[in-house]
Structure 1
């Protein structure tokens, strides 16, 4: 199945929908997960994190208020002190060793240290009247999309639009696949994480970090799908794009002898169906709601922007003492391949 995304339309047609699109450099890469395994140091697998520098081993709200505790953010808009994170991509060589795949900045964001591109959409695609309205997330809101343990396509159907793009160049946005691309990608592999867009209107979180949010009854946010009665509040569509620079690993003689693709997530997933991402809301005051209500396209004049060099300066201390660079005999944490 093929989906159209905000990214697929960006730059190819006249603006017909409202969205924020901005870059966030890498805050840190550590084996921590304050959402799924709070307080556990180290957590089971490695993550790459962007956003506010109050990221920590535990981030329980209200004791951990990202807005109050963060002094900087790696994101372009300084009002966004949220944290976003995904697993880390590794290359598995024919001899069984592993090497972390670096991240690549998108066109127009050159100089960004790692990180991702973030989208917040307030309108369905091609809703030229911009009749849609969304309710911005509240302090303490958090959610998870995807399941790290999923091993096949049938399981992955639980989540819509967690996909990959095999990029020939910076303009590549299609086709999208649910599993890892099976052939070498000239530029790299883009991982696309689209979060649910309907909220129950009550709970800021749930035990599995998923039940308080839902997808539209039919279709997608982009197609204007209606929220189910159990989750009636329409929230912004968050899309994360991470470009993994796989170009240095394209020599077929380095790939497995059986011709299978050689990339694995840091949790051990070699098929790509365990794709997942985490989000902890941390926008200042009502800045996000103002931006969504303005129905602007890409830019947001009501928000303060910072330079890429300023984004790159924002970091956090290393809380896990382990090496994950160079050639490794096993994935960090010793996660088995599945």
Structure 2
């Protein structure tokens, strides 16, 4: 009896505490502690770089990115050894990393010194530290001295911690990264319209990247460098997006936009389901090797709206203007430059910055970017990709010396179900954006990128429309209250390059069973996905290359002269080099793919960024019924498997019963 009972107890306990097999490990990523490398950021400290040094500095800053990525790969390969001897990481990883960074920093200083004043103090930024972050905490990875996203930002309460799983890639997300949207109080405010303001809107319809154009490049931040972003981007609009695209390449490219006069570049980090699916980038840079794992989700709907200014008329954007909004390193830097907003259809009067939303049944996830809408009037880029543009103040006014331009508002809708936090996403998978490894897939790190390649005549039309208070542009008249009421059109039948004007509204209900997003191999050049059906002519005026435009391009041809790009946004300053003040920021080595300007407090996430007012979306009755991306992969731990694992307990039960019968008969015979 004692032996049988013991066998029952031991086997039941062991089965109850098993992880469920290898697939369970893949799906939930039971990693409660992941080492994280923190290094002071070099790029953000260079507020001015001479034009002649820009190419060399960009190349070395990208090299710093590659060094940190290689260090993470080494961490992964040496995990067992480091677990046995934590001190070995300093000798084998951190110290060699410092030596490599010192050499790159030296070359940066040399390049700048050849063109102007040699910067001082850069050598102090070479050292890095290795830290262990508690994945169950979700906030402990931020270094001392840097702000972290508020656990209760926007008045929302964090959900149950659940299992504290570290995500499929082992570096997030965690349960604390999600909030129930119904528990968030309405928090959207808009500046009051004033006489002389511009109230019109202009829409551009460019599809949802159904043709699967991805790469981990960043032509704005790291021109000429493969995998400069270290995470995958979705691209719509311009079809020649890669690190090596020159200004002329962008001008001559095909576009997925309905109006062929818009060849602009729109891109953002992909959203993935942590469901164990092996995408083609699973073992490639920018993907699985850097902790970005799982199924890439194709958006259900993307709207691109250019809005006016409540206090003044807007002026034309300069051709090839580059804007990056949000902060890809906000988890380490603090939320000062964070600018992405998360919400749910039907609840867009409440927005989250540092949480992913848990949407109720029938509601879809909404991701919104409101770009900077004030321009310094002179530069199309700046050394840190921030200071040539700014956000308007809460009252709608631009900073002194800046002028209002049309504000790009990107609204991206995903048909993904609220994940099952109680079991770490085993039943319904977690979702999260791609990120740098040490940013742990936090929603506050989300960001969007834009390069203006509008035909100049179309840009004038946009400005006239906005300033006159009208609604114009492709798809402007095809935005009914219910997007789901549009006729269904399979995404694989529509041309990925030249969709008709109504394609944008049809795509929300397009079947996603083909899952085109998972097909293109990682790093596929953007030009390979373009078709030969391009019928639009190139813009009337070819872009002239501005010195130091940050695109790594050669000279353009003819046309109207573009604004000169200076190293600093202030037109009163010369091309001299200096470092911004303040202490060393403990930050990863990745380049500042975090290009929102300082002082973005005025740019609070607002639901007014959407093309349709909150509550007008009417999603399908079942959020995941027709969207296979939301269906989790099968995981182990079902009833049949449990029975198979518990056969020793059954045998122990028989022993226990036989012992009881034997004891009863023995006592009876004794009497």
Select which of 364, 384, 390 maps to 1:208: 384
Instruction: Return closer, same or farther for 1:254/1:38 CA change in 2, 3 Å cut-off.
Output: farther
Select which of 268, 272, 280 maps to 2:443: 272
The 2-side partners of 1:213 and 1:97 are apart by 30
Aligned to 1:74: 256
Q: Which of 1 and 2 has greater Rg?
A: 2
1:166 aligns with 2:344: yes
Aligned to 1:177: 352
Higher strand share: 1
Instruction: Return closer, same or farther for 1:314/1:320 CA change in 2, 3 Å cut-off.
Output: farther
Matches within 5 A, 1:164-313: 164-167=342-345, 171-181=346-356, 183-186=358-361, 187-216=363-392, 218-219=393-394, 224-230=395-401, 232-247=402-417, 250-252=419-421, 255-256=424-425, 262-267=430-435, 268=437, 269-295=440-466, 297-300=470-473, 312-313=496-497
Matches within 5 A, 1:75-90: 75-90=257-272
The 1-side partners of 2:352 and 2:240 are apart by 34
After superposition, the C-alpha distances for 1:241-300 in whole angstroms (9 at most, x for unaligned) are 1112212x644565359xxx9332211543211111111110012312222212354433
After superposition, the C-alpha distances for 1:88-112 in whole angstroms (9 at most, x for unaligned) are 1122359999423423434xxxxxx
1:3 aligns with 2:173: no
After superposition, the C-alpha distances for 1:176-196 in whole angstroms (9 at most, x for unaligned) are 111233535533321111111
After superposition, the C-alpha distances for 1:130-151 in whole angstroms (9 at most, x for unaligned) are x731112112211111121111
The 2-side partners of 1:235 and 1:270 are apart by 32
Unaligned runs of 5+ in 2: 1-153, 155-186, 192-197, 278-290, 479-488, 500-519, 526-628, 634-671
1:39 aligns with 2:224: yes
Aligned to 2:294: 99
The 2-side partners of 1:265 and 1:225 are apart by 30
The 2-side partners of 1:293 and 1:179 are apart by 36
SS at match of 2:461: helix
Select which of 306, 316, 319 maps to 1:120: 306
Deviation at 1:321, TM superposition (A): 5.5
Unaligned runs of 5+ in 1: 7-15, 107-115, 125-130, 328-338
The 1-side partners of 2:415 and 2:261 are apart by 29
Aligned to 1:336: none
SS at match of 2:205: strand
The 2-side partners of 1:318 and 1:283 are apart by 29
RMSD value, Cα: 3.7
1:23 aligns with 2:198: no
The count of residues paired between Structure 1 and Structure 2 equals 279
Deviation at 1:165, TM superposition (A): 0.8
Please report the TM-score for the alignment, with normalisation by the length of structure 1.
0.70
Residues 305, 409 of structure 2: 8 Å contact kept: yes
Q: Compare 97-106 and 36-45 and name the one that shifted more.
A: 97-106
Aligned to 1:331: none
The 2-side partners of 1:229 and 1:123 are apart by 15
Please report the TM-score for the alignment, with normalisation by the length of structure 2.
0.37
Higher relative contact order (CA 8 A, sep 6+): 1
Higher helix share: 2
